[in-house]
Structures are given as C-alpha cells and as structure tokens.
Amino acid sequence: MTTKWFKIESPADGTQISAAADILRGGGLLAIPTETVYGLGADGLNEAAVAGIFEAKGRPQDNPLILHIPSADWLARYCEDVPETAYRLAEAFWPGPLTMILKKKPCVPLRTTGGLDTVGMRCPDHAVTRAIITAAGVPVAAPSANTSGRPSCTTANHVREDMDGKIDGIVDGGDCAVGVESTIIDLTCTPPRLLRPGGLALEKLQSVLGEVALDKAVTQQLSADEKPRAPGMKYRHYAPKAPVTVVSGSPAQSGRWLCAHAPEGAGLILFDEYAPLFPQNVVRTIGPAADKAEQARRVFDALRAFDETGVSAIYAQCPDSAGLGLAVGNRLKKAAGFHTEDASDGRFVVGFTGGTGAGKTTLLRAFEKRGAYIIDCDAFYYERLRTDAALRADLNAAFPGVVDADGTLDRQRLGELVFGDAERLAALDAVIYAHLPRAAAHAAKESGAALVGFDAVKLCESGLAALCDTTVAISAPEEARVARIMARDGISCERALARIRAQKDDAAFRAQCAHVFLNDAASAEEAAIAAEQFIEQLCKQNKEDK
Ligand code: TXA
Ligand code: MG
C-alpha cells in the first residue's frame, strides 16, 4: 500500500480536508496530528476499520482505543449517563490534552473499547484534525501512531518511520505542541481516578474535581497478576532497545550521581544544564531542568534517538512530580520498567562565586565553621594537573607538546600559549570544564561531608553550578573591594581597580546565582557575623526545603 502524504496547514484547506476525511469515511487508516502525539485514526464505529488499527500497530486486542470528537456536543451520541462533571471538565480543558472515561452507548463497538462497557473520549486541540473529524462525520478511534511498544510519535516523520506502507494516509500537521499523551481521568468511579498522567496537570484536574484518586499503575510497576484500569498501562511502553535506569532526586543530586556512576559511553538523558559535563557519553537533552513543558515535548524524541546509537545502557534524569513532571517522569519510568536509582545523597552542596576582593573567604570560613568541606577550585585544578593523567592527555591533544614524555605538564608553556588569545583560552576552558566539575563532584562524595562548598570564579561557566543544591554570589561595593585588595596584596589603587575590571561585572555574578551575599560591613568582625548569619539561614532553608 502506498501511504498518501497530506501537508495541511489550515482547517480552511477544504479540498485536502475532505480528501483526508474520505479515507476515514471509507474505512481506511489515517494518521492525524493532535497537540499531544500523532494518532492512528479510523472510524470508531466501523469494526473492520478498527481491526485495521490493531493490525497496523501490532496492538494487543484487549487494549481499548480513545474516540476523538470535535466538541463536547458529540459526547451524548456515544456515551450514556454523561455526568455534569464531564461537561465542566470539557468547558475548562477542551479542546485539550484530556481524555475522559465514560459509560459507552451500544453504538460503540466492543472491538473499539477492548470489550469494556466504558469508552475514552477526547477533543484534541488541533484545528486541522477537528476539521477532518467534522468533515468525516464519525468519531475517530485513534491510539498513538507508533508501532506498539515504541515511543509515541511527535512528528509526522516519526509516523512515517513506523507506519509507511501500512496505512492509507498521514496528515502532516507540524510537530506536536505538548509531546506527551493526554491525561486520562475515569469519571465512572468516585472519586474520579487518574489512570494516566499526561499533558494536563493533575493539579488542574483537582482544581475542578476536588479529590482525585491515583491509579497504582501511574507510579509503580504492576505485578503480572494485577490489572490496571487503563489496560494500556500494563505494557512496557516507550522502550528503547537499551535498558533504561531513571535516576531520581533533584537535578543537582542526579547530576552528582551520574558524575560518580555513569559508565563511560553510556547513553544519558539529561536536562540541558548537565550536557556539557558529560562529553564522554552519548547525550540527549530534554530541556532546562525548570522547564517541564519543554521536557514533555522532547522526552519521546530523546528515547527514540538512542536506538540508532548502539549504546548498551541508558540513564535518565527525571523531574519532580509537580505539574507536567508527573507525566514526564511516568514516561521515563515506564521506559525503564520502573527501574530507578535514588540519587538523594543527604549532602548540601553550595557553590560560591564572586569577583576578587568581594570577600568570598569570609563566607567560606563561616561555612567551614559549620563543618563544611570546601573545595577551592583553583587549587583543585592545579592538583588535578598533577594527579589526573586523562586531563593532561586532553590538554596535550588540544595543545600538542605541553605535556612532556614523562607526563609532566609545562604550566608556563600552557600559560604563554593561551595568554591574550581568546580562541585558545576557550579551548583550554573546554578541556577543563570537561574534567573538573565531575572530578569535584567525586571529591565532594569522597569527603563524606554532609556540607560541601565549591569556591569557583567560573562556577556557572564550568557547569559546576548545576551540581550545586544552591549558589551564592558574593558582592561588595567597589570601594570596599579596592581597599581589601590593596591591603591583602599590597598593591596600588589603580592596580587593584585594573584587577577588578579584568573580571566579569559584579552584576553578572549576582544574576547567575540563587542568592546574593552583600559583603558591605564596616569591619572584618561585623562581616564575619553577617556571614555566619547568612550561612545559618541558608542551611535552615535547605532543611525546610527537604
Ligand atoms: O493523547 C492521546 O491520548 C493520544 C492521541 C492520539 O489522542 N492517544 C493515545 O492513545 O495515547 P493510546 O491508545 O496510545 O492510549 C490510550 C490509553 C491506553 O492506555 C488505553 O488502555 C486507555 O487509554 N484506555 C482507552 N479506553 C479506555 C477505557 N475505556 N478504560 C480505561 N482505559 C482506557
Ligand atoms: Mg500509545
């Protein structure tokens, strides 16, 4: 069978819309775009057409399909005793990524519902697809358009990979805006029960429904004899070929865990901030740690992308379960067969940064007084140059000849090579950043200390900040910094100023960090007291956050 390709930009494209609708009316199979993932559609009232969906996907017969409709007005055609809450949810969230399980009417074949007397109803937020359904005049049964067991398709090209030659047509309606499937809520029980977390956050459902029960299959692997309420939840979905391990814990904790445990060459699914720390791995990013909507859009793409790489194991960072994090985490955990490693290490790791003379030392000493293990990253770098052969080898590859035959690094030569040369400096930084943050995380772990401080001017640029539970910029008025540098290093006011100006602006340090410590006390004693109070507050806040 040749699969027809429809590129439909707008619901006003009547000719294309009716050509696509003809396929559905004629009992054919048509892949349709939705805001969540692509669906593999057929007339949901036509048993033979529905049978074709199961065949094309290789889907188990007992796994029911969702019916897609253009508006809530169609609910009563296919559902019995529609509760008032269904209309309230539709009013609030349709069209949108929400599927409601309702009692079915006899006109909906059991083949569509996998033998159940209930049916999933959804109104997708994609104008082209709603226009096609309206033109076809039938409810469209559509599971995700992937081959059974593969990650759902979020682009028309993914659909082509899985379905070319097996179905009548594919409607290319662009990339999916949400990226994970719809949230499924069962309205046939009290309280309503969340069967699958998805593109609509649980908190939003609760805002309309009040209490919502969580089906066990959402958070746990069911045993062989347990039956989930959404039959599809029992299958090992979304599975790349290599085994997946989800690393739970905050982003900083999972980042630190991976520094210590990820095997070289393993596949990693990471938040954007962590990618530069793992040049030795095959990395797919899913968006910034704080942007769950972006993670939802990219999670399936990341899972799909490993199959071409031949990695033998995959480790994934995972968002917390608030908002869309519940759906993203659920898809990752399902890909992992719920195999997780708990990265909580009970450690409180703080990154300190700031310009020269700002008074970083005062704060570091205050942290040390509470038992913190401090890693001065400059000193740590020089130590690693002596002790880390892999770092020296990479430096020698970037700057041939800086390491001599017996393995000693010529620091002076390296200094001369990069002095005043922005490109070479960047190359040097790249080598350092590829080694140092991971080594520092390792040293922090080895210390066994519950409190750890990283002291680094390039805290953020190096990627080290991402491994910290929080970060502090130390800031001080320029006159105070000048006076401190003059007293400390016995140099003139002009030279002290020149040193300050050679560094990044004070404001830039402040902008990069979660906290700012303004070191403007009149005396050293007062500064020390202020520093101790600041550290006490920081530690207290950390305990409260936990
Ligand atoms: O976002 C979505 O929902 C996408 C797009 C295409 O709309 N569709 C989708 O369909 O994800 P599918 O078939 O891949 O997943 C539907 C899930 C399955 O886990 C199925 O078992 C469950 O919904 N389901 C369908 N009807 C049900 C019913 N009557 N009772 C309980 N679970 C049901
Ligand atoms: Mg599916």
DSSP secondary structure string, 399-442? STTSB-TTS-B-HHHHHHHHTT-HHHHHHHHHHHHHHHHHHHHH
Contacts of 165 (CB under 8 A, 6+ apart): 1, 2, 3
Ligand nearest to the CA of 195: 1
Q: How many CB atoms lie within 10 A of CB 237?
A: 21
SS3 of 121-155: the string is EECCCCHHHHHHHHHHCCCEECCECCCCCCCCCCC
Task: Give 516 Cα–ligand 2 centroid separation in angstroms.
Answer: 47
Task: Give 238 Cα–ligand 1 centroid separation in angstroms.
Answer: 14
DSSP bridge pairs for 315: 245, 268
Secondary structure class of 119 (helix, strand, coil): strand
Task: Give 143 Cα–ligand 2 centroid separation in angstroms.
Answer: 6
Q: What is the DSSP string of 382-394?
A: HHHHHH-HHHHHH
Which atom belonging to ligand 1 lies closest to the Cα atom of 181?
1
Place of tokens 């202020």: 530
Q: Is the beta carbon of 36 within 6 A of some atom in ligand 1?
A: yes
- State the pLDDT at residue 229: 86
Task: Give 12 Cα–ligand 1 centroid separation in angstroms.
Answer: 29
Q: Is the peptide bond before 191 cis (omega within 30 degrees of 0)?
A: yes
Q: Is the beta carbon of 65 within 6 A of some atom in ligand 1?
A: yes
Which atom belonging to ligand 1 lies closest to the Cα atom of 124?
7
SS3 of 253-269: the string is HHHHHHHHHCCCCCEEE
The two tokens of residue 291 are: 């942007």
Output Rg (C-alpha) for the chain, integer angstroms.
29
- State the pLDDT at residue 237: 66
- How far is CA 496 from its chain centroid? 44
- How far is CA 532 from its chain centroid? 36
Going by C-alpha positions, the residue among 240, 278, 256 that lies closest to residue 447 is 256
| Residue to substitute in 35, 61, 66 for testing ligand 1 pocket (most ligand atoms within 8 angstroms of CB) | 66
Q: Is the beta carbon of 64 within 6 A of some atom in ligand 1?
A: yes
The two tokens of residue 360 are: 């970083």
Q: What whole-number distance in Å separates Cα of residue 91 and Cα of residue 72?
A: 8
Q: What whole-number distance in Å separates Cα of residue 176 and Cα of residue 185?
A: 21
Q: Are 371 and 279 in contact (CB under 8 A)?
A: no
The two tokens of residue 222 are: 């069911």
- State the pLDDT at residue 149: 82
Q: Is the beta carbon of 34 within 6 A of some atom in ligand 1?
A: yes
Task: Give 504 Cα–ligand 1 centroid separation in angstroms.
Answer: 53
Q: How far is CA 390 from CA 70, 334, 385, 387, in A?
A: 60, 37, 9, 9
Beta strand spans in 47-123 (E)? 66-68, 98-103, 118-122
Which atom belonging to ligand 1 lies closest to the Cα atom of 199?
1
The two tokens of residue 504 are: 């990044």
Q: Is the beta carbon of 37 within 6 A of some atom in ligand 1?
A: yes
Nearest CA to ligand 1 atom 7: 39
Compute φ and ψ for 322, nearest 5 degrees.
-70, 150
Q: Is the beta carbon of 334 within 6 A of some atom in ligand 1?
A: no
Q: Is the beta carbon of 119 within 6 A of some atom in ligand 1?
A: yes
Which atom belonging to ligand 1 lies closest to the Cα atom of 119?
29
Going by C-alpha positions, the residue among 73, 57, 28 that lies closest to residue 171 is 28
Nearest CA to ligand 1 atom 29: 119
Q: Is the beta carbon of 183 within 6 A of some atom in ligand 1?
A: no
∠ at Cα 116 (102, 113), nearest 5°? 80
- State the pLDDT at residue 529: 96
Helix (H) or strand (E) holding 77: helix 75-78
Q: How many CB atoms lie within 10 A of CB 502?
A: 9
- The percent of the chain in helix, strand and coil, each rounded to the nearest 5, is 45, 15, 40
Nearest CA to ligand 1 atom 21: 232
| Residue to substitute in 68, 181, 183, 237 for testing ligand 1 pocket (most ligand atoms within 8 angstroms of CB) | 181
What is the 8-class DSSP label of residue 358? S
Q: What whole-number distance in Å separates Cα of residue 287 and Cα of residue 222?
A: 30
For residue 35, the one-letter residue type is E
Secondary structure class of 88 (helix, strand, coil): helix
Q: Is the beta carbon of 254 within 6 A of some atom in ligand 1?
A: no
* Ranges of the chain with pLDDT below 50: none
Q: How far is CA 441 from CA 255, 283, 449, in A?
A: 9, 19, 12
Question: Could you tell me the maximum CA-CA distance found in the chain, to the nearest angstrom?
Answer: 91
Q: What whole-number distance in Å separates Cα of residue 327 and Cα of residue 286?
A: 14
Q: Are 83 and 185 in contact (CB under 8 A)?
A: no
Nearest CA to ligand 1 atom 30: 230
**Exposure b/e, 59-87, CB count within 10 A at least 16 = b:** beeebbbbbbbbebebbeebbeebbeebe
